[in-house]
Amino acid sequence: MQKVVFQDLGRIRYQEAWDLQEARLQEVVGRKLHNRSQRKADKPEIPQSHYLLFCEHPPVYTLGKSGSLEHLLLSEADLKAQGFEFFKINRGGDITYHGPGQIVGYPIFDLDEFFTDIHKYVRYLEETVILTLASYGITGMREEGYTGVWLEATAQKPKRKICAIGVHLKRWVTMHGFAFNVNTNLSHFEHIIPCGIADDDKAVTSMEAELGYTVDIEEVKTKLRTTFAQLFEYEYADARAMKQPTTKTH
């Protein structure tokens, strides 16, 4: 069974978390290449390990590599004046918002050790959130043609997106991940066209908005962690037990 190191980074600036993701990705790719060379030489391999990082960010907008800058509705001066950061990044997808009250998850998994199917991987990310929502009596769903987790329209509300997903892979090792609105300030989505979706029949929501009360975010993190392990069929490892190869990536 695969081992995953879980780290709750707390509230962390986006650039710092991105740098940490890159470092962890290099570690995982390094172990992968080390084991590949060991296998060819018929030498012992070291166990692969993976990471699951949770965090919250100070208010920040991120634009994926397939996104349009026109979907950011604030000028550079307005961003600074209102205290928002902005980054163009290498994940898929368009523009989204990260901020306090939102659980951002960064799985850094070597999919060669799970399954090499990016569509299945994204479905598993969605399913983790859908199952977590179900434990609070919220019915999450997938929307055809879009990634992420949605809530069905009602007589009073349009379809609502509660979790955005955008990923990047290097040698089948994942980074970036999902942004799950728990107690998120939804007014900050008004400064962008979220995920580039301008349809009048679609909106953004949070658990707090749906349930009518502030949700225990630590409890949600625990449920997510448990569901991740069940879906991907792994165990959590002690970070102190990690072994690092000396092989450099290319």
pLDDT digits (tens, 9 = 90+) for 201-216: 889 999 999 999 999 9
pTM: 0.91
Average pLDDT, the chain: 91
Q: DSSP for 51-105?
A: EEEEEE-SSEEEE-TT--GGGB-S-HHHHHHTT-EEEE-SSSS-EEEE-TTEEEE
Q: Where are the domains of the chain?
A: 55-104+111-233
Which helix (H) or strand (E) segment holds residue 123: the answer is helix 118-134
Q: What is the pLDDT of residue 241?
A: 45
Reply yes or no on whether 55 is catalytic.
Answer: no
Using pLDDT thresholds of 50, 70 and 90, give the confidence band for residue 243.
very low
Q: What is the pLDDT of residue 197?
A: 67
- The percent of residues above 90 in pLDDT, for the chain, comes to 71
Both tokens of 120, joined, read 């299945």
Q: How far is CA 81 from the centre of its chain?
A: 28
Which residues are CB-neighbours of 80 under 8 A, at least 6 positions away? none
Q: What is the pLDDT of residue 68?
A: 82
Measured CA to CA, the distance from residue 233 to residue 2 in angstroms comes to 8
Neighbours of 199 (CB within 10 A): 10
Question: What pLDDT digit, counting tens, does each position of 69-92 carry?
Answer: 888 888 888 888 888 999 888 887
Which entry of 5, 95, 149, 195 is annotated as an active-site residue? Answer: 195
Using pLDDT thresholds of 50, 70 and 90, give the confidence band for residue 196.
low
Q: How far is CA 71 from the centre of its chain?
A: 21
Contact assessment for residue 191 and residue 79, using Cβ atoms and an 8 Å cutoff: no
Measured CA to CA, the distance from residue 115 to residue 118 in angstroms comes to 8
First-to-last alpha carbon distance for the chain, in angstroms, is 28
Q: Measuring CA to CA, which residue among 166, 160, 165, 167 is closest to residue 186?
A: 160
Q: Measuring CA to CA, which residue among 121, 76, 79, 88 is closest to residue 18?
A: 88
CATH architecture assignment, domain 55-104+111-233: 2-Layer Sandwich (3.30)
Q: How far is CA 54 from CA 17, 76, 159, 178, 222, in A?
A: 10, 28, 27, 10, 11
Question: What pLDDT digit, counting tens, does each position of 102-135 carry?
Answer: 999 999 999 999 999 999 999 999 999 999 999 9
Q: What is the pLDDT of residue 200?
A: 73
Question: What pLDDT digit, counting tens, does each position of 15-59 carry?
Answer: 999 999 999 999 999 999 999 999 889 999 999 989 999 999 999
